[in-house]
């Protein structure tokens, strides 16, 4: 990627309402739409070097305050470029402002596979490495080769490797204090061609496919995995267009094997996934449901009736209403299971 930008280019400025899938009322004091990388030196020299940045993609994993102070970047960079191709795989660079689900669909159509388990996740490509989006047994970090960023601490572009990005469950460098000067410009994905593709079907919701393959000799295609993931998500998760939400509101907590064993003795139905490091990841949705919160409301906010991990805005909620509900849920789970829940979306409220 080149650093030879035109220094005179500047992004467009507006003070405006910030769209977010939780439908929280939010106005950014100064929002700058970034649709051209040539604007970066201007942003660098005018304000961003010394100020904390707020970057908004599709607003699908954000808890926003009524007024967003300081400068906000509205990510609108577009473009999909093939970098290199072999008979087995392909390296494709995708601009941060592209829609995640549209990109997943386009990759499948082009015959580039690996992203099918991550279908229908709301948001932008640039947001995908931030929380290392993951679903149905795949995390995006497994498919990324580089994340290309503008580093405001030195005013240059950099190509970060997956090691640099420190990917972990719902976590990355971009969520940590040392990643706050980095603006994600594009993501390079290494995807497989058909001959080298293997389905990932371990997740319980994908068992119908693995069983059909085993018992009936059904040949599982990337499109079949995509279709199954889309069907499961539509069944379990509310569409933000009709019921405002930000997907999972809490992370699934990691506990020691001993803690998990103690809980299982008391709660034989406990849902827990063993991790390679010996710990166990507990299904927070299951614990929240056990505490009686599934489908309950508190003023203008509530817990979704089909997936207790998802909090929803039922009317005119503000961030503080959601955070108050999250707090009482967290206190109940702590009291009953001895586990502290952590909020999953990025909270600027
Ligand atoms: N469960 C309940 N009650 C509930 C919700 C879940 O008992 O209300 C149980 C389920 O029956 C299942 C287990 O908990 O046995 C896990 O549920 P599910 O498969 O729905 O997944 P999850 O652990 O609740 C995670 C991700 C989702 C992702 C799914 C599928 C996190 C924080 N969430 O949810 O991601 O779609 O797995 O891989 O890791 C998101 O991040 O926004 C998101 C939706």
Determine the pLDDT at residue 6.
47
* 233: pLDDT strictly greater than 70: yes
Statement: residue 314 has pLDDT above 80: yes
Pocket probe for ligand 1: among 202, 248, 343, the residue whose CB has the most ligand atoms within 8 Å is: 248
How far does residue 283's CA lie from ligand 1's centre (Å)?
7
Q: Is any ligand 1 atom within 6 A of the Cβ of residue 289?
A: yes
* Cα gap 266→157, rounded to integer Å: 53
3-state helix, strand, coil in the chain (%, to 5): 30, 30, 40
What is the per-residue DSSP string for 194-255? GGG------SGGGHHHHHHHHHH-----HHHHHHHHHHHHHHHS--TTTS-EEEESBPPPEE
Q: What is the pLDDT of residue 5?
A: 45
Percent share of the chain, pLDDT over 90:
85
Exposure on the CB side of residue 127, measured as CA atoms within 13 A: 24
pLDDT at site 4: 47
Q: Does domain 245-347 have CATH number 3.90.78.10?
A: yes
Q: What are phi and psi of 188, to 5 degrees?
A: -100, 125
* pLDDT interval class at 216 (50, 70, 90): confident
**What confidence score (pLDDT) does residue 32 get?**
87
3-class secondary-structure state, position 340: coil
Our answer on whether the CB atom of 283 is closer than 6 Å to any ligand 1 atom is: yes
**CATH 3.30.465.10 given to domain 80-196:** yes
pLDDT at 189 over 90: yes
Nearest-atom number in ligand 1 for the CA of 205 is 19
The pLDDT of residue 157: 97
Q: Which CATH architecture has domain 12-75?
A: 2-Layer Sandwich (3.30)
What amino acid positions are annotated as catalytic residues? 170, 248, 344
Q: How confident is the model at residue 156 (pLDDT cuts 50, 70, 90)?
A: very high
Report whether residue 308 contacts ligand 1, using a CB cutoff of 6 Å: yes
Residue 129 to residue 151: CA distance in whole angstroms: 16
Q: What is the mean pLDDT of the chain?
A: 93
pLDDT at residue 1, rounded to an integer: 41
Instruction: Return d(Cα 184, Cα 170) in angstroms, integer.
Output: 17
Name the token pair of 249: 């509101």
Kindly tell me the burial class for residue 242, based on how many C-beta atoms sit within 10 Å of its own C-beta (0-12, 13-18, 19 or more). exposed
The mean pLDDT value for 115-125 works out to: 98
Give the model's pLDDT for residue 129.
Answer: 98
Report domain extents, the chain: 12-75, 80-196, 245-347
Q: Is the pLDDT confidence value at 104 over 80?
A: yes
How many angstroms does the Cα of residue 340 sit away from the middle of ligand 1?
17
- For 237-285, the pLDDT digits (tens) are 999 999 999 999 999 999 999 999 999 999 999 999 999 999 999 999 9
Greater confidence (2 vs 189) lies with 189
Is 52 strand, coil or helix? Answer: coil
Residue % of the chain over a pLDDT of 70: 95
pLDDT number for residue 145: 98
pLDDT band at 50 (very low <50, low <70, confident <90, very high): low
Nearest CA to ligand 1 atom 28: 135
- Residue 214 confidence class, pLDDT cut points 50, 70, 90: confident
Is the CB of 136 within 6 Å of ligand 1? yes
Specify the ligand 1 atom closest to the Cα of 271: 15
Report the relative pairing of strands 245-248 and 310-313 from DSSP bridges: antiparallel
Task: Report the predicted TM-score, pTM, of the whole model to 2 decimal places.
Answer: 0.94
Whose CA is closest to atom 34 on ligand 1?
248
User: Which residue has tokens 């572009």?
Assistant: 157
Measuring from atom 24 of ligand 1, which residue has the nearest CA?
285
Alpha carbon distances (Å) from 242 to 110, 237, 239, 326 = 31, 11, 6, 21
The per-residue pLDDT for range 26-45, each reduced to its tens digit, is 999 888 899 999 999 988 88
């Amino acid at each position: 990627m080149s650093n030879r930008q035109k220094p005179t280019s500047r992004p467009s400025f507006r003070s405006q309402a910030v769209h977010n899938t939780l439908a929280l009322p939010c106005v950014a004091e100064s929002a700058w739409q970034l649709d051209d990388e040539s604007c970066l030196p201007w942003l660098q020299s005018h304000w961003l070097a010394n100020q904390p940045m707020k970057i908004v993609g599709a607003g699908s994993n954000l808890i926003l305050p009524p007024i967003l102070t300081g400068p906000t970047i509205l990510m609108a960079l577009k473009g999909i470029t093939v970098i290199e191709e072999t008979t087995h795989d392909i390296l494709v660079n995708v601009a941060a402002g592209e829609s995640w689900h549209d990109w997943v669909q386009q990759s499948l159509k082009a015959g580039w596979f690996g992203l099918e388990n991550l279908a229908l996740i709301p948001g932008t490509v640039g947001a995908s490495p931030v929380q290392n989006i993951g679903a149905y047994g795949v995390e995006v970090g497994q498919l990324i080769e580089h994340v290309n960023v503008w580093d405001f601490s030195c005013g240059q572009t950099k190509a970060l490797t997956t090691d640099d990005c420190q990917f972990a469950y719902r976590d990355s460098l971009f969520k940590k204090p040392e990643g706050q000067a980095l603006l994600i410009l594009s993501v390079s994905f290494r995807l497989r061609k058909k001959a080298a593709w293997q389905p990932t079907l371990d997740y319980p919701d994908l068992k119908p496919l693995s069983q059909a393959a085993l018992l009936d000799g059904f040949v599982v295609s990337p499109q079949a995995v995509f279709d199954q993931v889309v069907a499961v998500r539509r069944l379990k998760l509310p569409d933000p267009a009709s019921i405002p939400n930000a997907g999972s509101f809490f992370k699934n907590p990691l506990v020691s094997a001993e803690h998990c064993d103690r809980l299982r003795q008391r709660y034989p139905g406990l849902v827990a996934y063993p991790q390679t490091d010996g710990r166990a990841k507990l299904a927070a949705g299951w614990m929240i449901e056990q505490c009686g919160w599934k489908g309950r409301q508190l003023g203008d906010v509530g817990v979704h009736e089909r997936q207790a991990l998802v909090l929803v805005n039922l009317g005119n909620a503000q961030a503080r209403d959601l955070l108050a509900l999250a707090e009482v849920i967290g206190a109940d789970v702590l009291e009953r299971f001895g586990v502290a829940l952590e909020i999953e979306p990025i909270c600027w409220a």
